[in-house]
Amino acid sequence: MLDLFGTPVLPGATSAESFLSPPEEQALIRAIDRLNLAPFRFQGWVGKRLTHSFGLHYDFDHASLAPTTPMPTWLLPIRDRVAAFAGLVPDALIQALLTRYDPGAGIGWHRDRPHFDHVVGLSLGAPADMRFRRRMGERFERATMPLPPRGIYHLQGVARYEWEHSIAEMAAIRWSITFRSLSPRGRSALSYGAR
């Protein structure tokens, strides 16, 4: 996320337009819709957005992280390009979370689980804004990062750890593919099978 002078508005948040071509976007949308997407669940609450994980599954009902089906071959070349954008080796992006936001679905204020480190996302379908906020005493500092279709964004450092983010309820369908790397906490949770 850069201002007019190319300075990041939020340290640790970078984005680029036209990362995917329109045919690639359409092929990915079709591939996501072929998956067995399930409503996101959080401690007994069932959300409107539909998700499917590859590589690792974080179970929000039980706050646990476990290996799941490896990324399919159609996703690997995309994962490799996304890793290059983020300056990471491809294998670092161990999880892919595929999400469909139907009209009325969004994502509330959160920071991603501490088990993960880098978050690199692709946007497909309807445009959206990622909103950011950070508490400053009595009020919130706020920032917005546009998420145009076919664009990519990378959250790390301050933007990922100190700021919360959310996406308002959508009026039209948006899909996203977010790739995550593991944090030291995530690595120990996996090796001990603990939280």
Ligand X SMILES: O=C(O)CCC(=O)C(=O)O
Beta-carbon count within 10 A of 91 CB: 10
Contacts of 150 (CB under 8 A, 6+ apart): 17, 18, 19, 20, 21, 22, 24, 25, 122, 123, 124
How many Å apart are CA 177 and CA 76, to the nearest integer? 12
Identify residues 49-88 at the interface with Fe ion (CB under 5 A). none
Output 49 or 88, the one with its CB closest to ligand X: 49
- Pick from 165, 179, 186, 189 the residue near ligand X by CB under 6 A: 165
Residue 137 Cβ, how far from ligand X at the closest point, in Å?
26
SS3 content of the chain, % helix, strand, coil (to 5): 20, 45, 35
Does 1 interact with ligand X (rule: CB under 6 A)?
A: no
Residue 42 Cβ, how far from ligand X at the closest point, in Å?
12
Instruction: Tell me the number of residues near ligand X by CB under 6 A.
Output: 9
Give the type of residue at 169: E
Nearest residue to 177 via CA among 62, 100, 113 = 100
Strand partners, 78: none
Piece of 12-20, 38-46, 109-117, 124-132 that binds Fe ion (CB under 5 A): 109-117
Q: Which x/- pattern, by CB under 6 A, does the window 99-128 give for ligand X?
A: x-------x----x--------x-------
List residues binding ligand X (CB under 6 A).
97, 99, 107, 112, 121, 165, 167, 176, 178
List residues binding Fe ion (CB under 5 A).
112
